[in-house]
Chains A and B, each alone.
Chain A
Amino acid sequence: QVRLVESGGGVVQPGRSLRLSCAASGFTFSSYTLHWVRQAPGKGLEWVAVLSFDGSHKYYADSVKGRFTISRDNSKNTLYLQMNSLTAEDTAVYFCARGISGGSFDNWGQGTLITVSS
């Protein structure tokens, strides 16, 4: 079955960087668009970034553009999110999700918590 497992979360100081990983299994990784979605404590879902199956197209939410970079290694079945210049507003659970036609997300990981605090 499809499995997405995020890692790399933790506590980080404001202004520092962090890289998240999402290890995938159970499907042909290189055929799918992948996303990062986040959820601040007690808040709703916020889409963060998307990367096409071959890495040729990527888009970012305005709130992270210029600070975050999404990438993938299809040989390792892994999605990444490089997060720079972190602020308290980036504190959230970060989910990776598989994208399917029509723009929906049909499978999600369990998420990894990032806390930005001094």
Chain B
Amino acid sequence: SYVLTQPPSVSVAPGETAKITCGGNNIGSKSVHWYQQRPGQAPVLVIYYDTDRPSGIPERFSGSNSGNTATLTISRVEAGDEADYYCQVWDSNSDHYVFGTGTKVTVL
């Protein structure tokens, strides 16, 4: 089965840039989606189709995808960005949907 690997945690100071990676075999050939989940809340889609932002998501959130790594970038980090972030893809070989292991972003 397809596996997506994320770093368990990322720490960043307010105003700085946070980069969260998502590793998978030839992930660049797939569409990657990213979700933000604050404690006790449901996930929220923040990036879809590698780079697109749903309406209402700040431009500070951006994504990229190439080779074996997809990246979610949060610019000018704010305290409210502190949350867990998950990448996700659809595996066409199995018709299964796969989530990454998740990354906890801490704002210092």
Query: Are B43 and A108 in contact (CB-based, < 8 A)?
Result: yes
- Please report which residues of chain B, range 22-81, place their CB below 8 angstroms from some CB of chain A when the two chains form the complex: 31, 33, 35, 37, 41-45, 48-49, 54
Q: Tell whether A50 is near chain B: CB-to-CB under 8 Å.
A: yes
CA distance A65 to B33 in the complex (A): 25
Q: Tell me how many residues of A have a C-beta within 8 Å of chain B.
A: 21
Is there a chain B Cβ closer than 8 Å to A29's Cβ? Answer: no
Pick from A7-15, A41-49, A71-79, A83-91 the stretch touching chain B.
Answer: A41-49
Task: List, in ascending order, chain B residues with CB within 8 A of A102's CB.
Answer: 31, 33, 48-49, 90
* Closest B residue to A100 using CB positions: B48
CA distance A44 to B90 in the complex (A): 17
Given contacts A62-B1, A103-B33, A103-B89, contact A47 B42 (CB under 8 A): no
Q: B1 — nearest CB in chain A belongs to which residue? A: A62
Interface set of B (CB-CB < 8 Å, partner A): 1, 31, 33, 35, 37, 41-45, 48-49, 54, 84, 86, 88-90, 95-102
Q: List residues of A whose CB falls within 8 A of some B CB.
A: 35, 37, 44-47, 50, 59, 61-62, 95, 100, 102-106, 108-111
A-B contacts besides A44-B102, A47-B88, A104-B45, 13 pairs, CB < 8 Å: A44-B86, A45-B86, A47-B99, A50-B95, A62-B1, A102-B31, A103-B33, A103-B88, A103-B97, A104-B31, A104-B88, A110-B42, A111-B42
